[in-house]
Amino acid sequence: MTVTVPDLIGRSIDALPTPSVLIDLATLRRTIAQMADAARGFGVALRPHWKTSKCAEVGRLQLGAGAVGLTAATAAEVEALVEAGFEDVFWAYPPVGAHRIGTALRAARRARVIIGLDSLASAEPLSAAAAADGIDLEVRLEVDSGLGRTGVRAEDALAVARRLARMPGLVLEGVFTHEGHVQGLGADPERRTEVGTAAGQLLVEVAEALRADGLEVPSVSVGSTAGARSAPRVPGVTEARPGTYVYGDENQVAIGTVDPADTAMSVLSRVISTQRGEPMLVDAGIKAMSSDGSMHGDGRIGTVVSDSGGVLATGHEEHGFLRGSSPLQVGDMIRIRPNHACGLTNMHSQVFAVEDGVVVDIWPILGRH
């Protein structure tokens, strides 16, 4: 349900339709400032991953705090960012397929767009298209630092980079990694620091090997919220790309990488039935919360942050099963912290920016699937 902006700005959140996504502005500004300060302290550039918010307003706040640009994952995100006037975008995803290649070429005519590649197979069609179009595209080579997803093995990086550097239409600009495996280590800060640091060190070693071979790789880019206080600290890393930090979520809280006070996103929901007593039913099901797994290991799809407490133990499409809450009545409102902010964002068309329980603005979600 999309509500026009003038209808609700200046009104209490009690007037909102539910379920609705709330973004607490004071918390948002604090998280943006904290990560910007951390990056400056490490001496690295900050290029936040925009997939967490998909809001132009959030991206502008991040740039205003010192970010050098933004990171995107999908063609729709790249298109939305360029259309909104953002001038420096790193597309950290292989541009496989005619649609993605077309997006890269169109976007590069309007803004600086760096493309992430992890294979010659994904590079060759892009090279051919760029050369035919008469443009040069900056590219970064992705290195697998332990996640086991995309990215070349470190020992293969030099051979791939040599060939990338010779391809027409492509300019090798750097190397990057996503140290997402740090997230899976759970609530063990020492182990997270150790693994995040190792990921940063591996990427720096790859960059140094490429430079020793005569290749210019000015950018050495790491990226994750769980590793944001470890990987960017490694000397030689030049850029950090955390994303989830900007809103925070229950999974980051569960493993201790985000303080509960630094979670800006919640879902406003109403109690719709108390027939069973326990659980009570609310109107935030998996279509509002997503069904992304919980790092608590208990299957919950969200944690209540209202005074009533409790957890959203599970959900159907439009029904959330609320357990452990103090007694509530039909129509009562609660706020729920989602497991995964990024996944939840893509399920909604707008978020409500709020201050002191009052709607300040309504921000559209751009570049949704």
Q: What's the per-residue H, E or C state across 269-325?
A: EEEEECCCCCCEEECCCHHHHCCCCCCCCCCCCEEECCCCCCEEEEECCCCEEEECC
Residue 7's pLDDT is 86
What's the mean pLDDT in 127-144? 98
CB 336 within 8 Å of CB 304: yes
**d(Cα 166, Cα 277) in Å, to the nearest integer?**
68
Is residue 252 domain-resident? no
305 and 232 in a common domain: no
Alpha helical stretches, state H, the chain: 5-8, 25-42, 56-64, 75-83, 98-108, 120-133, 157-166, 189-212, 250-255, 286-289, 341-345
Residue 369's pLDDT is 85
295 and 235 in a common domain: no
Report the 10 Å Cβ neighbour count for 360: 14
| Band (1; pLDDT cuts 50, 70, 90) | very low
> 229: buried, middle or exposed (CB in 10 Å: 19+, 13-18, 0-12)?
buried
CB 301 within 8 Å of CB 290: yes
Q: In the chain, how many domains are there?
A: 2
Cα→Cα distances 199→146, 188, 202, 228, 255, Å: 7, 17, 5, 11, 19
332 and 209 in a common domain: no
Is residue 191 domain-resident? yes
Is residue 253 domain-resident? no
278 and 164 in a common domain: no
**d(Cα 94, Cα 204) in Å, to the nearest integer?**
21
Question: For 304-360, what is each residue's pLDDT tens digit?
Answer: 999 999 999 999 999 999 999 999 999 999 999 999 999 999 999 999 999 999 999
What pTM was computed for the model? 0.96
Is residue 118 domain-resident? yes
| Band (5; pLDDT cuts 50, 70, 90) | low
Of the three residues 205, 222, 246, the one that is the final residue of a domain is 246
What's the mean pLDDT in 114-125? 98
**d(Cα 79, Cα 84) in Å, to the nearest integer?**
9
**DSSP of 47-84:** --BGGGT--HHHHHHHHHTT---EEE-SHHHHHHHHHT
Task: Read off the CATH number of the domain in which 205 is found.
Answer: 3.20.20.10
**d(Cα 73, Cα 66) in Å, to the nearest integer?**
21
Residue 4's pLDDT is 52
Question: For 191-247, what is each residue's pLDDT tens digit?
Answer: 999 999 999 999 999 999 999 999 999 999 999 999 999 999 999 999 999 999 999
Is residue 202 domain-resident? yes
Cα→Cα distances 368→3, 49, 66, 152, 156, Å: 18, 15, 26, 28, 35
Task: Read off the CATH number of the domain in which 274 is found.
Answer: 2.40.37.20
294 and 232 in a common domain: no
46 and 194 in a common domain: yes
242 and 165 in a common domain: yes
205 and 101 in a common domain: yes
What's the mean pLDDT in 96-113? 98
Is residue 340 domain-resident? yes
Q: Given phi > 0 = left and psi -120 to 50 = alpha, else beta, which region is 134?
A: left
Of the three residues 213, 246, 279, the one that is the final residue of a domain is 246
Q: Which domain holds residue 352?
A: 5-22+258-364
pLDDT at 24 over 70: yes
176 and 210 in a common domain: yes
Tell me which H or E stretch contains 220: strand 219-222
Of the three residues 214, 246, 278, the one that is the final residue of a domain is 246
Question: For 36-56, what is each residue's pLDDT tens digit?
Answer: 999 999 999 999 999 999 999
Is residue 273 domain-resident? yes
297 and 181 in a common domain: no
Is residue 140 domain-resident? yes
Residue 186's pLDDT is 85
- Both tokens of 15, joined, read 């007037």
Instruction: Please state, for a pLDDT cut of 90, what percent of the chain lies above it.
Output: 97
280 and 354 in a common domain: yes
CB 180 within 8 Å of CB 224: yes
17 and 35 in a common domain: no
CB 112 within 8 Å of CB 89: yes
